[in-house]
């Protein structure tokens, strides 16, 4: 029999399993969290070989007392901190209203950002006009923090007559060239290599604009992720490559896609990329790391890979029930806390905020979101009101419409 001559038993396939199942006690002891302010901040032009350890640590600025400490602190003014809190509060209120709208049948689909607001909201503040983000479906904070109108976002979600994308995209798959937000693709991972290509084109044209690619932990198992690292490292593209590790790829825990590398950031080491991990629930840390990576790209020093360690509090989407695959109390046990509460507490410590002011701001934000929703719904929702014109199907595709499409349009009477 095979193997009998050596004494080896039959081969066994290793399938990683989460340490906790529904009904179990949540356990995040495997997430090693250094004290805030203890991770070094290297010079922007550092040799990637000298900072390999940053791929295995977590850069943090806010400590348990709400104080900003360490070498990564100080990248934001008081006014910018207040704006950041308001951006995250706005995204959270926007999520709440749109989640309810989906349950009411006003849209077919929605995806929340609960717990991940700091990642996209803080990163956006490090970018400049003309730069381009290639996002996934959970980076709407790039638009909120960039001043994109909430009404336009809601019109897209409702696929109504004022939908800027004319009903051509799944709800929440926004697109805005003017706001540096590349069209979201439902095919996972495609945007990562596209970001590198866009950045290479910018360098070829001798431009000054940079790109940022976004991907979730689960999608790093896609081949496009690895292709992006090959091209970015080979051609030293001016791009920031962001991995949002929110612990879950729909119902699959992060250990499946991560493999044996230890961290997602560590995957960049084999490509010679500077690779950092950051506390994704720390607005100040996210901004500081984003600013560092963006400056590196802008100074023609090449790409940077960043892993944001965060947690997806809500369901993957309105089509998902997380209670089927993870403990119901898991989000409460997440050791890095709530990004909104952490920034709020920091502002209070600095004497810039209070619990009373926060309640007032929550009401102000919700009023602005409700006003935007009422305006959007005046243009229609999924099952009522105005819809995009049938004519829109034929336009915006070809510079010169082919004869067969002209005939079809005539037959449709539009």
Please spell the DSSP secondary structure of 291-311, one letter per residue: HHHHHHHHTT---EEEEEE--
The confidence score (pLDDT) of residue 250 equals: 87
Residues 68, 77: Cα–Cα separation, whole Å:
12
Supply the pLDDT for residue 8: 85
Euclidean distance between CA atoms 90 and 150, whole angstroms: 10
Can you give the pLDDT at residue 5? 58
- Interatomic CA distance for residues 312 and 163, integer angstroms: 28
Determine the Cα–Cα distance for residues 264 and 217; give it in Å rounded to an integer: 7
Q: Which of 380, 331, 369 is nearest to 96 (CA)?
A: 369
Determine the 3-state secondary structure of 279 from DSSP.
strand
User: 308 with 244: CB under 8 angstroms?
Assistant: yes
Q: How confident is the model at residue 220 (pLDDT cuts 50, 70, 90)?
A: very high
* Residue spans of alpha helices (H) in 350-388: 355-377
Q: Is the dihedral of CA 248, 152, 175, 120 positive or negative?
A: negative
Measure the CA–CA gap between 132 and 407, rounded to whole angstroms.
38
pLDDT of residue 384: 95
**Is pLDDT above 80 for 140?**
yes
Average pLDDT, the chain: 95
Model confidence at 1: pLDDT above 90: no
Contact 172, 150 (CB under 8 A): no
Which residue in 408, 314, 276 sits closest to 99, CA to CA?
Answer: 314
In 157-303 the beta strands, taken as DSSP E runs, fall at 211-216, 239-245, 248-249, 252-253, 275-279
Angle, helices 339-349 vs 78-103, to 10°: value is: 150
pLDDT of 2 over the 90 cut: no
pLDDT digits (tens, 9 = 90+) for 35-55: 999 999 999 999 999 999 999
- What pLDDT was estimated at residue 255? 87
Q: Rounded to an integer, what distance in angstroms lies between the CA atom of residue 302 and that of residue 300?
A: 6
Q: Where are the domains of the chain?
A: 52-317+324-382, 389-413
Q: What is the mean pLDDT of residues 203-226?
A: 97
| Cα–Cα distance, 57 to 53 (Å, whole number) | 7
- pLDDT for 22 beyond 60: yes
**Which stretches of 302-350 are DSSP H helices?**
330-333, 339-349
**Is residue 232 predicted with pLDDT exceeding 70?**
yes
Tokens for 367? Answer: 């009023």
Say how far apart CA 400 and CA 328 lie, in whole Å. Answer: 55
Q: Does 3.90.850.10 match the CATH number of domain 52-317+324-382?
A: no
pLDDT at residue 260, rounded to an integer: 78
Q: What are 59's strand-pairing partners?
A: 278
Q: What is the pLDDT of residue 307?
A: 98
Global confidence as pTM: 0.95
The pLDDT > 90 percentage for the chain reads 89
| pLDDT for the residue numbered 3 | 53
3-state class (DSSP) for residue 105: coil
pLDDT in tens, 274-316: 999 999 999 999 999 999 999 999 999 999 999 999 999 999 9
Other CB atoms within 10 Å distance of the CB of residue 414? 13
pLDDT at 19: 86
First to last CA, the chain: 73
Task: Please return the burial class of 393, using the count of CB atoms within 10 Å of its CB with bins 0-12, 13-18 and 19+.
Answer: middle
Confidence at residue 186, expressed as pLDDT on a 0 to 100 scale: 87
Cα gap 392→168, rounded to integer Å: 9
* Band of pLDDT at residue 397, cut at 50, 70 and 90: confident
Taking only the tens place, the pLDDT of each residue in 73-112 is 999 999 999 999 999 999 999 999 999 999 999 999 999 9
pLDDT above 70 as % of the chain: 99
Nearest to 322 by CA among 111, 93, 107: 111
- Least confident interval from 120-124, 278-282, 376-380, 388-392: 388-392
Cα 102 vs. chain centroid, distance in angstroms?
Answer: 21
Cα angle vertex 284, ends 194, 365, to 5°?
85
With CA atoms as reference, report the closest residue to 144 among 186, 75, 200, 91: 91
List, in order, residues 6 or more apart from 38 with CB less than 8 Å away.
Answer: 60, 70
pLDDT of residue 261: 77
Print burial letters for 77-104: b (CB count within 10 Å at least 16), e (below 16).
eeeebbebbbbbbbbbbbbebbbebbee
- DSSP tag of 402: -
């Amino acid at each position: 029999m095979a193997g009998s001559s050596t004494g080896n038993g039959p081969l066994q396939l290793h399938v990683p399993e989460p340490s906790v199942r529904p009904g179990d006690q949540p356990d995040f002891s495997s997430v090693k969290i250094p004290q805030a302010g203890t991770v070094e901040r290297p010079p922007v032009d550092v040799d990637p070989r000298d900072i390999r350890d940053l791929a295995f640590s977590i850069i943090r600025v806010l400590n348990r007392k709400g104080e900003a400490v360490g070498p990564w602190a100080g990248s934001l003014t008081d006014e910018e901190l207040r704006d950041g809190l308001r951006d995250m509060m706005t995204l959270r209120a926007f999520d709440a209203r749109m989640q309810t709208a989906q349950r009411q049948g006003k849209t077919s689909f929605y995806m929340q950002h609960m717990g991940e607001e700091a990642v996209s909201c803080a990163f956006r503040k490090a970018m400049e006009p003309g730069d381009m983000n290639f996002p996934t479906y959970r980076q709407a904070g790039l638009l909120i923090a960039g001043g994109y109108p909430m009404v336009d976002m809601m019109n897209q979600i409702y696929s109504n007559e004022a939908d800027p994308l004319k009903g051509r995209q799944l709800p929440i798959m926004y697109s805005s060239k003017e706001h540096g937000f590349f069209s979201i693709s439902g095919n996972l991972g495609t945007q990562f290599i596209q970001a590198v290509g866009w950045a290479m084109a910018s360098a070829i044209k001798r431009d000054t604009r940079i790109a940022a690619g976004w991907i979730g932990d689960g999608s790093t198992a896609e081949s496009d992720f690895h292709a992006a690292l090959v091209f970015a490292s080979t051609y030293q593209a001016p791009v920031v490559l962001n991995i949002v590790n929110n612990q879950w790829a729909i119902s699959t825990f992060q250990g499946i896609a991560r493999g044996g590398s230890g961290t997602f950031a560590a995957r960049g080491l084999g490509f010679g990329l500077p690779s950092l991990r950051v506390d994704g629930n720390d607005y100040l840390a996210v901004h500081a790391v984003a600013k560092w990576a963006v400056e590196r790209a802008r100074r023609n020093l090449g790409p940077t890979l960043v892993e944001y360690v965060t947690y997806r509090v809500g369901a993957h989407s309105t089509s998902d029930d997380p209670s089927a695959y993870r403990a119901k109390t898991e989000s409460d046990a997440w050791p890095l806390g709530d990004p909104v509460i952490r920034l709020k507490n920091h502002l209070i410590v600095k004497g810039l905020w209070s619990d009373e002011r926060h309640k007032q701001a929550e009401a102000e934000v919700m009023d602005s979101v409700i006003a935007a929703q009422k305006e959007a719904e005046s243009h229609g929702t999924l099952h009522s009101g105005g819809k995009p014109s049938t004519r829109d199907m034929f336009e915006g595709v070809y510079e010169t419409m082919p004869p067969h499409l002209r005939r079809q349009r005539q037959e449709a009477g539009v």
